[in-house]
Amino acid sequence: QGASRGNAVSWFVDRHVAAGRGGATAFTDPHRSMTYAALAEASARFAGGLRAAGIGRERRLLMLMLDTVDFPVAFWGALRAGVVPVPANTLLTAEQVAYMLEDSRAEAVVVSARLLAALAPAIAASPWLRLVLVATPDGEPAPALPPGAQELRNFLAGAPAAETVAASPDEVAFWLYSSGSTGAPKGTKHVHASLRATAETYAAQVLGIRPDDVVYSAAKLFFAYGLGNAMTFPMSVGAQAVLLPDRPSPDAVLSVMARHRPTLFCGVPTLYAALLAHPGLGRGAGSDRLRLCVSAGEALPEHVGQRWSSVVGADILDGIGSTEMLHIFLSNRPGHIRYGTTGTAVPGYDLRIVDEQDRDLPPGEIGELLVRGPSAAEGYWNQRDKSRRTFQGEWTRTGDKYTQDADGHYRYQGRTDDMFKVSGIWVSPFEVEAALMTHPAVQEAAVVGREDADGLTKPMAFVVLREDAAPPGPALTEALRAHVKERVGAWKYPRWIEAVEELPKTATGKIQRFKLRAGFA
Ligand code: 3SK
């Protein structure tokens, strides 16, 4: 390991092989398993292939990949070569991924075969790309490749294994795109040391992760939450993760649980609520080894946590993290769960609740949550103002409103701006409004988050229709939903649509969303 010690790949991969644990299984997907030794070898070849293709240090590799064993091969291979992997959300529209390709100026891309068609136009248009790799699962036929593209498996077979580059722990290792209030995602730059920091704080001291754990995270690897749950946390102790490339429907989740019998399960509140409504849910959710479940992404409704504990017999640890802090910094603790709260600061992190002048607030008063800890991002790529506003010295602004109970537990109170999360993923009302307004029937639109019967937030739209539009009704509602799904992503469509005469606005023309929210609160 020597000079490459600051490079996270040495600690997460090579340390296990050097200690004689290379034969342990690191990942299992529906097609194959991979040991730590095989991952060390494949990632070294991936690094060698990048180097041979002339992809230099600090250049970006966009990863549009489903959760399979190929994901860690590409991620750790890039780190070995000093290339910066940029995992992208596979649920985004082609336009949004094209934006990331352009914004990051990625010189290499690795894309799962199933996602290639959506990315092909952006690949053809990119002036920066020099290497296009397509990952096809074993046993599936390769798709027609774009000009110059290679299959990942051929690339790996023909590549020399490369040495790991020496890296400072403070060097940028990878980016994750975080959604902004304007809807334009920001490339969030994380350093090598942050990966280990989240493993040594949350994973070790809250989850108590151990070598015999088998982790299944329904939250995908492209998401900071999934990246920790299903990659760096199990790898920090030489444990195993189960990966599922498909959508985590309740049926699919329960079948993974029964087949792989994980000890740790990680999901988002929407999924826990959907699983509770599934007739097949029982003790252990199908796994006789389940010891703990984790929820993040949005606040877990109290009744969902309570029902889950009584039906499944394992508790859900509700916590909150962010792409900017890489993982969870505020969480409940095993054996000390207070459903309805997000718990207390994870060891290694400090929290403040402040008013608009950044003065600390006493327990019971609502303010913005600030966090300080070892895994804060270095900043946003090419967004100086937004970086300065978010990363203020040692403190990171979360944009979340919280109160602290007299006994120290933190309670989520909403967002400081109008963003909200659906199934754990940020939704910007601006983005959904913009999509609605491209429909010929819509003159104006305003979108807010609204809780459904399970207490989970979903988009609600208020629309002012054009004079010549068809009258409101189920046909128009369905057409508008389909329109939004197609343009900005399947989970962002408005679950309720109400036609109104006009929208409440300030004198300067800004929509007053709080008035709309007050209408159904
Ligand atoms: O949204 C969250 O709570 C979260 C948790 C862990 C990592 C990343 C995020 C956004």
Q: What's the pLDDT tens digit per position in 164-186? A: 999 999 999 999 998 754 557 89
Cα 55 to ligand 1 centroid, rounded to whole Å: 31
**Ligand 1 contacts CB of residue 327 (under 6 A):** yes
Cβ contacts of 197 within 8 Å, gap of 6 or more = 326, 348, 373, 374, 375
**Ligand 1 contacts CB of residue 322 (under 6 A):** yes
DSSP state of 144: P
User: Atom 4 of ligand 1 has which residue's CA nearest to it?
Assistant: 321
**Helical axes 70-81 vs 36-52, angle rounded to 10°:** 60
pLDDT tens digits for 299-323?
888 989 999 999 999 999 999 999 9
Report which ligand 1 atom has the smallest distance to the Cα of 320: 3
Q: What is the reported pTM? A: 0.88
> What does the block give as tokens for 19?
């200690």
Number of Cβ atoms within 10 Å of the Cβ of 37: 16
User: Atom 1 of ligand 1 has which residue's CA nearest to it?
Assistant: 297
Cα 322 to ligand 1 centroid, rounded to whole Å: 4
| In the block, residue with structure tokens 């599934």 | 278
Q: Best substitution site from 221, 223, 398 to test ligand 1's pocket, by max atoms within 8 Å of Cβ?
A: 223
Report which ligand 1 atom has the smallest distance to the Cα of 225: 7
Q: Is the dihedral of CA 291, 245, 108, 431 positive or negative?
A: negative
Cα 49 to ligand 1 centroid, rounded to whole Å: 33
User: Atom 9 of ligand 1 has which residue's CA nearest to it?
Assistant: 322
ipTM above 0.90, yes or no: yes
What is the predicted pLDDT for the residue at 510?
A: 66
**Ligand 1 contacts CB of residue 196 (under 6 A):** no
Report which ligand 1 atom has the smallest distance to the Cα of 319: 3
Report which ligand 1 atom has the smallest distance to the Cα of 228: 7
Tell me the average pLDDT across 488-517.
84
- According to DSSP, the residues that pair with 62 across neighbouring strands are 86, 109
Q: Are strands 172-178 and 367-372 parallel, antiparallel or unpaired?
A: unpaired
Q: Which of 372, 370, 364 is nearest to 408 (CA)?
A: 364
pLDDT tens digits for 359-380?
999 999 889 999 999 999 999 9
pLDDT tens digits for 398-442?
999 899 999 999 999 877 878 788 888 878 787 898 899 899 999
Cα 325 to ligand 1 centroid, rounded to whole Å: 8
Cα 422 to ligand 1 centroid, rounded to whole Å: 13
Tell me the average pLDDT across 10-38.
98
Q: Best substitution site from 179, 232, 327, 375 to test ligand 1's pocket, by max atoms within 8 Å of Cβ?
A: 327
**Ligand 1 contacts CB of residue 328 (under 6 A):** yes
Q: Report how far residue 419's alpha carbon sits from residue 19's, in angstroms, rounded to the nearest whole number.
A: 46
Question: Is 4 a residue whose pLDDT tops 70?
Answer: no
User: Atom 10 of ligand 1 has which residue's CA nearest to it?
Assistant: 322
Q: What is the pLDDT of the chain when averaged over all its residues?
A: 93
Cα angle 224, 458, 317; round to 5: 45
**Ligand 1 contacts CB of residue 375 (under 6 A):** no
Q: Which 3 state secondary structure label does DSSP give 35?
A: strand
Cα 225 to ligand 1 centroid, rounded to whole Å: 5
What is the predicted pLDDT for the residue at 22?
A: 98
What is the predicted pLDDT for the residue at 1?
A: 46
> What does the block give as tokens for 174?
């990878």
Q: Best substitution site from 322, 325, 423 to test ligand 1's pocket, by max atoms within 8 Å of Cβ?
A: 322
